[in-house]
């Protein structure tokens, strides 16, 4: 896939529990030309999730086969046995529809995606108010088993260390303020609303 296109990429990342998904949903409601890039993953589907809407849910074997076939722009084994990635076909599909694309992806995946599209993309790191607040948000979500929760908490400190490599940083202390900051960044980058 060439990096030449008419679309732009808004890549939002940060540790689990920072509010990045809430911010991405907000951006989609504010910017009509933005479309959501659905990531592929090999983790089990949660109760309220739908295949092809929240994620493309693949078995580990299917995911690994797509890696071998070079079908991903970026992918990571985010947690042991849990792979996440951006399919080339997803970006092609959305650009063909004339849309700019917003991503809600892993920190390393965000930086990897940026290397493919350095001029067409902006990376935005969503920073929590503090590590303690982040840990409490993860516990309050009550969506993971205790083992997975501990993995996410352990990974958060590593992910926070990547923040300086991002183009922009938004502190999600007050959600409305984080929305306004992100809106301004995206509006300036896209040149429209």
3-state secondary structure of 99: coil
Q: How many CB atoms lie within 10 A of CB 169?
A: 15
Distance CA(87)–CA(82), nearest Å, equals 16
Alpha helices (runs of H) in 41-174, residue ranges in sequence order = 60-68, 88-96, 107-116, 131-141, 146-160
Give the tens place of pLDDT for each residue, 15-72: 888 889 999 999 999 999 999 999 999 998 988 899 999 999 999 999 999 999 999 9
- Side-chain-side CA neighbours of 163 within 13 Å: the count stands at 15
Burial of 152 (0-12, 13-18, 19+ CB in 10 A): buried
Question: Which band of pLDDT confidence, cut at 50, 70 and 90, is reported for residue 143?
Answer: low
Q: Which of 41-50, 51-60, 106-115, 145-154 has the lowest mean pLDDT?
A: 145-154
Question: What pLDDT is recorded for position 78?
Answer: 80
Q: Give the domains, in start order, of the chain with CATH numbers.
A: 9-37+90-183 (3.40.50.300)
Mean pLDDT of the residues in the chain: 90
């Amino acid at each position: 896939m060439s990096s030449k296109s008419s679309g732009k990429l808004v890549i939002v990342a940060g540790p689990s529990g920072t509010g990045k998904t809430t911010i991405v949903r907000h951006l989609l409601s504010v910017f009509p030309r933005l479309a959501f890039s659905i990531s592929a993953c090999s983790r089990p589907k949660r109760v309220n999730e739908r295949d092809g809407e929240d994620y493309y849910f693949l078995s580990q074997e299917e995911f690994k086969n797509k890696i071998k076939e070079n079908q991903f722009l970026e992918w990571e084994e985010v947690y042991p046995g849990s792979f996440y990635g951006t399919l080339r076909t997803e970006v092609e599909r959305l650009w063909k529809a004339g849309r700019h694309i917003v991503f809600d992806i892993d920190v390393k995946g965000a930086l990897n995606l940026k290397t493919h599209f350095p001029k067409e993309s902006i990376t935005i790191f969503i920073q929590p108010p503090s590590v303690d607040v982040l840990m409490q948000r993860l516990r309050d979500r009550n969506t993971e088993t205790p083992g997975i929760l501990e993995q996410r908490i352990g990974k958060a400190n590593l992910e926070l260390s990547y923040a300086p490599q991002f183009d922009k940083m938004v502190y999600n202390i007050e959600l409305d303020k984080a929305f306004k900051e992100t809106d301004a960044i995206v509006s300036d980058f896209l040149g429209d609303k």
